[in-house]
Amino acid sequence: MNMKLIKQTGLFVAAGLLAFACGAPNNTVETSEAQEVASGQGNTYTINAASSTFGWRGYKPAGEHFGTIPATQGTVTLAGDSITAGSFTFDIPGLKIEDMPAEDENYGKLYGHLQSPDFFDAASHPTATFEITAVEPFQSGDIVADKDERASEHTPKHDTELAPANPTHWISGNLTMRGTTKNIKFPATVSVENGTVSAKAGFNIDRTEWGLTYGNEADPANIAKDQFIYNTVSVVLDVTASE
């Protein structure tokens, strides 16, 4: 192979790798800086707070905890069957732990710790909000990529395990917790039937992006003692809204 052909081949390979590296984040779960909130036109649907949940699951090598944070209010705007805007509010003090009975002494300890400045700092930030910034169709070639995690008896679930089986859309939105706002993009299954909008999604976030750094797994001291808490937190959304 002559030198000119080698150089051309190298350029093509480099261009291909660059295109893949730049294009991949558009087709998988990602966190980025806050974006402009969508303000689309259409009919407004009100969230059914009693049947809408924000499920969470946290992990550490010795175990895991999971529960829900209730939705208190929210709306979704639709033009035909297309979501054009939406916002939701979640009550942090209303957080529930579902892997142990409420009367258990450890329940109170864990609940108090999660509400403290080590985690949600609920006294200063009693609500979390999610505001839609974009909704796009889930294409046949789109992927959900998994992140490598430190192996243990309780390695976090992968995004591919959490995502709905047949996503219909990519939803992007600004998630605000502890006074920090980041944009998250994730696959969801959205349906509109008999005046009700339903959306289901499951994905992972890095809690440290929102300042929840207690027990950070990146801290060598925590890793050495095998007492770290995974930075990955699994989120499962199940939301319904009606006219």
- The answer to whether 238 and 47 have CB atoms below 8 angstroms apart is no
**pLDDT tier at 4, thresholds 50, 70, 90:** very low
Is 16 contained in some domain? no
Distance of CA 122 to the CA centre of its chain: 19
**pLDDT for 228 beyond 80:** yes
pLDDT at 243: 86
Please state which of the ranges 137-151, 160-174, 217-231 shows the lowest mean pLDDT. 217-231
pLDDT tens digits, one per residue of 37-71: 998 889 999 999 988 889 999 999 989 999 999 99
Is 21 contained in some domain? no
- The answer to whether 166 and 173 have CB atoms below 8 angstroms apart is no
Is 234 contained in some domain? yes
Kindly state the greatest CA–CA separation across the chain.
Answer: 76
Is 18 contained in some domain? no
Handedness of CA 135, 141, 146, 147 (dihedral sign): negative
**pLDDT for 177 beyond 90:** yes
Is 24 contained in some domain? no
CATH code of the domain in which 212 resides: 2.40.128.110
pLDDT tens digits, one per residue of 73-100: 999 999 988 899 999 999 999 999 999 9
Handedness of CA 30, 155, 236, 163 (dihedral sign): positive
Is 2 contained in some domain? no
pLDDT at 85: 95
Domain with 187, as residue range(s), is 30-242
Comparing CA positions, the residue from 192, 154, 171 lying closest to residue 237 is 171
Number of compact structural domains in the chain: 1
pLDDT at 140: 87
pLDDT at 71: 93
pLDDT at 158: 96
Is 17 contained in some domain? no
Is 172 contained in some domain? yes
**pLDDT tier at 224, thresholds 50, 70, 90:** low
Compute the mean pLDDT over every residue in the chain, rounded to the nearest whole number: 87
